[in-house]
Amino acid sequence: MKNNLRLLLILLILPISIYAQPSVEKAEPPSWWTGSTVNPVRILLTGKDLNVAKMVINTGSPNLVATNLKPSENGHYLFFDLRIAPNTKPGKYKIRVYNIQPQGSSFDFEVLPKSTSITQHRGYTPDDVIYFLMPDRFADGDTSNNDPEKSKGLYDRSKGRRYHGGDLQGIINKLSYLKSLGVTAIWTTPIYDNNDKLDYKEVYNGEPSTGYHGYGATDMYAVDEHLGDLAKLKEFVQIAQKMGFKVIQDQVANHTGPYHRWADDPPTPTWWNGTVQNHPNNNWQKWTAMNPRATYQTQSRNIDGWFIDILPDFNQNDPEVEKYLIQNSLWWMEVAGFDAIRMDTLPHVPRSFWQKWGGAIHKEYPKVNILGELFDGDPALVAYFQAGRKGHDGIDTQIDTLYDYALFYPIRNAFAKGESIRGVSQMLAHDWLYPNPNVLTTFIGLHDMERFMNEKGATIEGLKLAQTFIMTTRGTPLLYYGDEIAMPGGGDPDNRKDFPGGFAGDKKNAFEPSGRTKEENEVWNHLAKLGALRQKYEALRNGKSLDLLDEEQQSAYARVLNNQAVLMIFNNDTKPAQVSFEVSMIKQIPANSLMKDELGKISDIKIENGKVKFTMPARTAGVFTVK
Task: Tell me the domains of the chain and their CATH numbers.
Answer: 16-112 (2.60.40.10), 130-536 (3.20.20.80), 544-626 (2.60.40.1180)
Look at residue 9 in the predicted model and tell me its pLDDT.
30
**Band of pLDDT at residue 59, cut at 50, 70 and 90:** confident
Q: What does the mean pLDDT of the chain come to? A: 94
Q: How many alpha carbons lie under 13 Å from residue 47 in its C-beta half-sphere?
A: 24
Under DSSP, is residue 595 helix (H, G, I), strand (E, B) or coil? strand
Q: How far apart are CA 591 and CA 31, in angstroms?
A: 63
Segment 223-234 shows an average pLDDT of 98
Residue-wise pLDDT tens digits, 80-122: 999 999 999 999 999 999 887 777 889 999 999 999 999 999 9
How far from 207 is each of 154, 160, 161, 368, 491, CA to CA, in Å? 12, 10, 8, 40, 16
The predicted model gives 57-84 an average pLDDT of 94
360 CB contacts (<8 Å, ≥6 apart)?
Answer: 37, 38, 326, 329, 330
Alpha carbon of 483 to those of 181, 184, 331, 460, 487: distances in Å?
Answer: 12, 17, 33, 11, 6
> pLDDT confidence of 5, banded at 50, 70, 90?
very low
Q: Please compute the mean of the pLDDT values over residues 442-448 and round it to a whole number.
A: 98
- Tell me the sheet residues that pair with 46: 26, 77
Write the Ramachandran bin of 165: left for phi over 0, alpha for psi from -120 to 50, otherwise beta.
Answer: left
Strands 441-443 and 476-480: parallel
Residue 202 has pLDDT above 80, yes or no: yes
- Overall pTM surpassing 0.75 (yes/no): yes
Return the pLDDT at 149. Answer: 64
Q: Is the pLDDT of residue 53 over 90?
A: no
